[in-house]
Amino acid sequence: MARTKEVTIVTYRDIFQDQEKAKDRYTQEYQDLSALIVLDQSDMKLIGAEDGDLVLVENEWGSVVVKAKLSEEEDSHSGIAFMPNSPWSNQIVSGDTGGSGIPDFKKVVAKVSSSEGDVITLRDLAEQMKV
Amino acid sequence: MSICTGCSLLCDDIEVELEEEGIGTTKNLCRKGQGHYESLGVERLAPSVDGAEVSLDEAISKAAEILSEAEKPLLFGWGNSTLEAQIVGIELAKKLGAVIDDTSSFCQGYLMEKILKGEYPTCMLDDVRNLADVLVYWGSDPSSSHPRHMSRFSYFPRGDEKRQRGYEEDRNAIVVDVRVSPTVEIAKSGFFKVLPGGDSEFIDALMTALSGKIPKVKDKKKMLGLGTTLKKAEYGVIFPGLGLIYSLKDEIDRLDPLVAKLNEVSEYKVIPMVGHYNMRGFNQTLLEETGHINRVSFKDGVEHGPQFAITEFLEKCDAVVVVGSDPASSLPAAVAKKLAKVPTIVIDPHHNMTTELAKVTIPSAISGLEAGGSALRMDGLKVEFEPVVESGYLSDAEILARIKEAV
C-alpha cells in the first residue's frame, strides 16, 4: 500500500505560470507550471516519490494528480507543501467558507501519496465540473 | 506610449510597434504583460448558446431573455472591466434587482474598504518612490504578482528629492511570508518566516516589540530588531497580499491596531496588492453608489452582507452573469461547479473554464488593447487609455448597455 503523508498546503502565485495564464491557459506549459506540488525532501522520501513523479493529493473536498517538485528551500518544511494557485489546486480547497465568503486557499490539509494516474487536462477538469 | 491592463500597476510606458497582423515588437512589458498582449490572437471567444455558435445579436438576446426571467440573478466579475463598463454593470444590477459582487469579495475586500473609507492611511505609488524608506511586503510577492512594482515604485528606483542614494542605502525591505518567494530572494536580510496561519501570532509579537517589551517568540532579538527598524522609519509603507488576508481571515481586523500603533511611532501607509487591473475601480464605484464596496443586493433597495458573496450566493441564485473573470478556475471546485447548474452568461475576450460551463457566451474586446476607457490603479490614480489595435469586438460596456436595454 502506498505510504501517505498529511501536509498543510499553501497556494502561491508564480510569474511564469501567470504569464502562461494571461496568454493561453490551454497550453501544456500552463498545465505543467500549474499542476504541481512542492514537497520537502523528507516528505518526498516518506511517500517514496522523486522529483517529477506523479502524486495524488486528496482530502474530503476532492482529489487531484499533480507532479511532485522537490523544494529548493534550504530549511526543512516537512508537513508544509506549496501549490501554485490554479484549477488543479482548487480541486482540494474547501467549499465551506463558514459563511465568511472567503475560502481557505492558503491552509489546505490533504494527504499526499505516490500515484500511477495521469494529470487531468483543464478541459477535462471543466467536464468534471458539469457532472 | 500605451497602458498595460495586465495588472493593477497599469504601467503607462509600454512601447508598441504595430504590424499588419497586429502587435509586433513591444518594450517595457513584464512577463505578465507580455502574456496579456500575446493573448490578442489566442483562444478568442465566439458568441454561443448551449455550445452552438450563434450571431452576436442572438447571444445578447438570449442573455437578456435569461436575465428577464430570473428572480435572483448574480452579476460577478468586474476587476478586468473599465470604469465605464462597471457603471453600466451596476445600473444593470439595479434594473434587475440583482446581486452584484466582484473578486474583492474573496481577496482584498476588507483592506480595500478600509482604504476607500479613509480608515487606513494610504498614499500614491509615486509617494512610495519618492519618500518611502521602509517597505513591508506582508504575505505578498510583488516579484511574482506585480513584476514591475519593485523596479518602478517601491524598492529599486531613486526618488525625486529624497531616496537619492539607491536602494542599498535608502530603503529597507521587510518580507513576511510562509515561503522563500522570489521577493524574499531580493530582500533576504529582511525575511521573516511565518507558519501557515501564523500571521496573527506575528502581529502579537510585533505589537509587543513595538511597545518595547520582550516578545514571546523563538528569535526575540530579530523581532526586537524589526520593531526598531519600523520605529526608525521616516515613511513606511505596508503592501499586504493574499498571504496575509487568507492567513488572518476572520481576524483580519487584527491589522487595525497594528496600523494605528505604527502610526503612533512613525508614519505608515497601506497599499493593498490588488491583482486585477480595475478591482479598485469597481469597489470605489459601488461604494459611491451604495455605501458598500461589494456583496450588494438590489432586490429590496440596497442590502449588503456575506450572504451576497459569490461563494454563498451561487447556491441560491437562478442565473449568473460573469464579466471578464474566470470563477470556475479561481474558486474552489466544490463552489465553482454550481456555475454549471444555473444558466451562466459569460462576457469575456477568451475561452476559459467558466465559458465551458456557460449557457451563453458573448465575446468582448480586450480593454486597454482593443477598447479604450479608464481604470483606477492600485493606489487610486485614474488612468485613461486608448485602444492599441482595432478590432471588430464590442467593449464589455457596449455589450452590457445592450443587455440592459433589452431586459
Each domain of chain A, given as residue ranges in start order, spans 4-130
- Tell me the nearest-neighbour CA distance from A82 into chain B, angstroms: 8
Each domain of chain B, given as residue ranges in start order, spans 45-107+276-406, 109-270
* pLDDT at residue number B231: 97
Residues 6+ apart with CB under 8 A from A79: A5, A6, A7, A8, A40, A43
Q: Hey, what CATH class is B45-107+276-406 in?
A: alpha beta
The mean predicted confidence, pLDDT, of chain A is: 96
Q: What's the predicted TM-score (pTM) here?
A: 0.96
List chain B residues with CB under 8 Å of A106: 178, 196, 242-243, 246-247
Q: CA separation (Å) from B339 to B102, B180, B406?
A: 15, 35, 23
Whether the CB of B195 is below 8 Å from some CB of chain A: the reply is yes
- Tell me the nearest-neighbour CA distance from A87 into chain B, angstroms: 5
The three-state secondary structure class of B271 is coil
So what's the ipTM on this one? 0.95
State how far the Cα of A122 lies from the Cα of A36, in Å rounded to an integer: 14
List chain A residues with CB under 8 Å of B102: none
The mean predicted confidence, pLDDT, of chain B is: 96
The x, y and z cell numbers of residue A119, run together, are: 494529470
Residues 132-171 of B with CB under 8 A from A: 141, 143-145, 147
Is B333 in contact with A102 (Cβ distance < 8 A)?
Answer: no
pLDDT reading at B186 higher than 70: yes
Residues 6+ apart with CB under 8 A from B269: B121, B122, B123, B127, B128, B132, B235, B236, B237, B238
Q: CA separation (Å) from B387 to B4, B23, B29, B159, B363?
A: 11, 12, 16, 31, 17
pLDDT reading at B129 higher than 90: yes
* pLDDT at residue number B140: 98
Interface test with A, best of B5, B144, B176, B200 (most A CBs within 10 A): B144
- Tell me the nearest-neighbour CA distance from A116 into chain B, angstroms: 23
Q: What is the pLDDT of residues B236-278, one digit of tens each?
A: 999 999 999 999 988 999 999 999 999 999 999 999 999 999 9
List chain A residues with CB under 8 Å of B6: 22
Q: Which residue of A has its CA nearest to B334?
A: A95
* pLDDT at residue number A1: 60
Closest to B383 (Cα-Cα) out of B8, B63, B121: B8
Place of cell 495564464: A21
pLDDT reading at B206 higher than 80: yes
Q: What is the pLDDT of residues B207-227, one digit of tens each?
A: 999 999 999 999 999 999 999
State how far the Cα of B341 lies from the Cα of B357, in Å rounded to an integer: 9
- Tell me the nearest-neighbour CA distance from B170 into chain A, angstroms: 27
Q: Which has more confidence, A40 or B166?
A: A40
Residue A57 gets the label, from left (phi > 0), alpha (psi -120 to 50) or beta, of: beta
Give the distance from CA B290 to its chain's centroid. 20
Residue type, B297: S
- Tell me the nearest-neighbour CA distance from A3 into chain B, angstroms: 24
CATH topology of domain B109-270: Dimethylsulfoxide Reductase; domain 2 (3.40.228)
Q: What CATH number matches the domain at A4-130, 2.40.40.20, 2.40.50.140, 3.30.2270.10, 2.60.40.1180?
A: 2.40.40.20
Q: What is the pLDDT of residues B291-320, one digit of tens each?
A: 999 999 999 999 999 999 999 999 999 999
Interface test with A, best of B30, B31, B185, B344 (most A CBs within 10 A): B31
By Cβ distance, the residue of B196, B307, B334 closest to A8 is B196
List chain B residues with CB under 8 Å of A129: 328, 333, 336-337, 339-340, 353, 357
By Cβ distance, the residue of B42, B309, B335 closest to A23 is B42
List chain B residues with CB under 8 Å of A91: 333
